[in-house]
Amino acid sequence: MKSRVGSQGSLEEGKDSVTKVVTQYKPLSIRLLQFLLLFLGIGIVFSLLSMYMVRYSVMQNVIPMVQSRFQPCFQQLSLESWIRPPSSLLHSMNDTQLFWRASIVPQIKEYPFNRTRKIAFMFLTRGPIPLAPLWERFFKGNELYSIYIHSLPSYRPDFPPSSVFHGRQIPSQEAKWGRMSMCDAERRLLANALLDISNEWFILLSEACIPLHNFKAIYHYISKSRYSFMGAADEPGPFGRGRYNPNMVPEVNITEWRKGSQWFEVNRKLAVDIVKDDVYYPKFEQFCRPPCYVDEHYFPTMLTIESPRLLANRTLTWVDWSRGGAHPATFGKADINDQFFKRISESSICVYNNQPTSLCYLFARKFAPSALGPLLEHSTKFLGF
């Protein structure tokens, strides 16, 4: 019995020992668990704070970028951005891109703003404009005009900032007389001028041209005309139908073949027609070669086919072919007198808005640089400005 009691006592003592050990380690485990939970909680809080700070920082940087990226788009979609003329005539577009851009036409004819209608004066030159001082006087005090200059690419104009010709040179290419490159230059002038939606009428001039009347008289004459002024004559002789190439059919038949002056005035509708043309251009480029001169036949023929009722069938630029040769007469200092301008004013009778008139020409050519002095001296008397 003693041994059994002794064994039972030993067992009870063992249990007490284990209970003491467990009791000793229990507070330690709870504290460790509490520490781990506290550490985990701090980590979670720190992670959430870090995520918030990162998100806040990114949004602070992204929002201005998004605003700066999309704000110009809203500006480009505004009406003002569409109707505002280009701030500079220099651009990087090639002819294909330029003609496409210039041929975009609103389909709603009524403008949703007060549109100021201007005349685009387009100067096709090789280099300088010797008669620029006379033109400066002509434009002075007027605003309803734009100026465009197409010269040789190598020419660098030196007009002062105060000049109306300053900064008016367009990206250009070499144009050769009698070649399609000449019509390319004229289309290039029209396309650049079409980028200004205020331009309603387009006049092609050379560096040897002068105005025969003051600006207000010319603006009134053109703006009140029902027709555009481009010669389109059907000449049966060797210099008319004789230059026709049968390979131009079916786009151009000989009965539709026309000849006219290179120097013209067209309205906006006809300017777009010229710029966007891809039907007649290939035919003239391939089959109108000297002695066929595209600058005398391409536009008159094309517009006669497409819009004959919009043409006055005459030019506004007076020239003198009486001396013979491939080029008209040139006039210098000695030619500038009363008899000369009287001869121009009385040279012909024409039709204006279906009524006969003696006021047929608004411009004249060809004038040498030596004519500038007497033209400036007597501009009020001879030209009205």
**Strand partners for 119:** 145, 201
Q: How far apart are CA 163 and CA 149, in angstroms?
A: 13
Cβ(91)–Cβ(125) below 8 Å = no
Q: What's the length of the chain? A: 385
Q: In the chain, where are the structural domains located? A: 87-316
Residue ranges in the chain whose pLDDT is less than 70: 1-29, 32-33, 35, 45, 50-76
Q: How far apart are CA 196 and CA 116, in angstroms?
A: 11
pLDDT in tens, 187-211: 999 999 999 999 999 999 999 999 9
Q: How far apart are CA 353 and CA 226, in angstroms?
A: 6
| pLDDT value of residue 347 | 84
Q: How far apart are CA 114 and CA 124, in angstroms?
A: 31
pLDDT in tens, 260-297: 999 999 999 999 999 999 999 999 999 999 999 999 99
Cβ(204)–Cβ(183) below 8 Å = no
Residue 359: helix, strand or coil by DSSP? coil
Q: Buried b vs exposed e over 303-333: b needs ≥16 C-beta within 10 Å?
A: bbbeeeebbbbbbbbbbbeeeeeeebeebee
Tokens coding 310: 């919009």
Q: What is the helix (H) or strand (E) element at residue 146, kind and residue range?
A: strand 145-150
Domain boundaries 87-316, corresponding CATH code:
3.90.550
pLDDT in tens, 131-182: 999 999 999 999 999 999 999 999 999 999 999 999 999 999 999 988 999 9
| pLDDT value of residue 326 | 80
Cβ(102)–Cβ(340) below 8 Å = no
| pLDDT value of residue 61 | 56
